[in-house]
A and B are shown apart, each in its own frame.
Chain A
Amino acid sequence: MRARRNLVTTAGLLGAAAVLLAGCAQDPAETPGKGAPAGGKGQTTLTVGVFGAFGLQEAGLYDEYMAQNPGIRIEQTSIERNENYYPQLLTHLGTGSGLADIQAVEVNNIAEITSTQADKLVDLGKAPGVDKASYLPWKWAQGTASAAKGGATVGLGTDIGPQGICYRKDLFEAAGLPGDRAAVGALWAGDWNKYLEAGKAYKAKAGEGKAFVDSASGVMAAVTGSSAQRFYDEQGKVVYKTNPAVRGAFDLAASFATEGLSAKLQQFTPAWDQGFANGTFATVSCPAWMLGYIQDKAGPAGKDKWDVAPAPKPSNWGGSFLVVPKAGKHAEEAAKLAAWLTAPAQQAKLFEKRGSFPSASAAYKLPTVSGAQHAYFGGAPIGEIFAKAAEGIPVTVVGPKDLVIAQNLADIGMLQVDQKGRSPQEGWEAAVKAINNALDQ
């Protein structure tokens, strides 16, 4: 909320400033953008709108680009939470004003963007320097509108979220399970049900007050992330209700709750953070971007206790895209920048500095990715683990309301089972009811 209010204020101030500067500009055609030195050589200011700590700026990519292109200045505006960022992006696209030259889009929103906003965005597939072959095919497909909508690639993939299982080596060993990451991965390789079995084995020895997973909804996100078809079919019809993959994931995750293997936490809440610090749970399905979060929350005390093993099946959770609105003043320059920011070399840098895993598979061969190890996680070869997961992720069908469906399944359905002790059937029905209302059915 605070972020949103700040943005409104900032937008207001920027708007006022833009009006003033436009009035003062000597030659608007020659010196576009604000901050142009009066009478001097034209300098173009490109704005990038992102949510959260996106990392492009933090990894020094803007500085590098500005050094290579003296005529370009890059400014970033960030809104903390995507729930606040995304509706604003939609309204700005609708009115064609208030847009940054480049806007970030979260993977759960990309289908809605490609299916409803493609005509307002630049086709980046044709931008100079963009090579389709260097991206993972499923990521490229997600950023591309259907043939019926023009077939333009409006979103260039940045990072993705291939998942592993982060686990507490010390807790595993104390419960008589193996501690070595290869042996741990072998415990459940190929089947999410084996993950449940491992949990039961853990619980039998670990005793009261020690949970196997942080939350049932985390398990559900991981399991649904490994199936090609989830909430929509290829024709764009909502099928989550009848799709056995979704119901199967829901029921499997719910059994973590009913078997007492879950710490009954809600992810990304203060209590969840405290759970990391206190070692309340032994495992968590972790996309590559979560490693830094765990390190942050578990603190120095957790060093060499946490490790990461491959997940039962390759699965994706999260990731983002960059889009360039046509309404921007410098669409051409912006497309060039977007292409550069998402090129394999830059994605590898982003991974090195920020841990965001590249969606450009060409980057996996670069030594910074292939040889990457995570010191906090016992020197785990994360480049290898996550690259293998990334290449095994199926081409997922994404739909416009994926986020709403996933959110209600997790925050209504699974949370009722996990925290309120409702039966899985009751949780499912509550989620379906909420989703029906949300989808206006």
Chain B
Amino acid sequence: MSPKKSLIAAAATLVITGAALADITIGVSLPLTGPASGLGIPVGNQIKLWPTSIAGEKVKIIVLDDATDPTNGVKNAKRFVTDDKVDVMLGSVATPVAIPMAAVAAEAETVQLAFSPMQLPPGKDGWTFRMPQSTPVMAHAIVGLMKKQGIKTVGFLGYTDAYGESWLKDFTTEADKNGIKVIATERFARSDTSVTAQALKLVAANPDAMLVVASGSGAAMPHMAVVERGFKGKIYQTHAAASRDLMRVGGKDVEGAFVVSGPAVIAEQLPDSHPSKTLAIQYVQQYEKAYGVGSRNQFAAHGFDALLVLEKAVPLALKAGKPGTKEFRAGLRTALETMGRTVVSHGVLNWTKDDHWGFTLETGVMLKVVNGDWKVE
């Protein structure tokens, strides 16, 4: 290469890297395979619909599969901060994967927008913001309806993982405040072929209602087992079960089930006064146009909301520094903490310095399965 040519080449490289530095780099780690892939794939689908720029800045999105494996999640997160120098990392949808990712995010001082309602010890979530509703917010909606229906005792049938545990803890706290007792607690794993034994024990305890804590199509089997053992009381499900797979697999047995959900899933049925209605309809139309009628779900909406949040926060953060710099990343955190009331498709967010959960208490909507469809209760 002649000196002149190499000079041009060097200049070109400089221009290219200069431009690349100004791009906002987003690292996304999702369970596209493995047990939680039912949650990860919809989010991935939604992120495919993202625009190529946010607030006028070009966006570079790197999506990696964490296979629902915490080790892979950490590996992805480390890759994001060391190799890709991301400005913000998204994920995971699986709680057990998102938790160790938070440690990497905090160490690298990079904002993490997590799609899972995970519990972190106080002070460890300085750089982590959660997109889903917290379990207390959702438990608040369930307990509210239970109280209205005069329920006094509840049986708990949940996953033997972090999702099940956090529900048990938060639901019990909320229920206690309202004079409702959890009188029996049983666990199961998604891979179990039978939960007859657990259902037997729960039905024998004879509670007024059951709370099933499971996700996606995995939520149908425990529900059916309880019905099969002759339980006549009301059965409640959490927002991880708020997808059509519940009815597809459960059929007649899940009729009359009460399911708590974020507002995005039942966009059209929301009252006009609901702040999220417009955005929820926008999400549903965009997603179903791309992936078919009825494909909407709780998780993809988090992906939609993450974009809304970034579109509001990035202009504020740009005042602090250029994308790719430490200042920009810190600016992003400050922006998220100070941007105040933000309406998204899944409710109303209001993050503060001390609260990285965000959603306000009126976010949860109670649905009932009527004739194989959702109906706002």
Q: Do A and B bind each other?
A: no
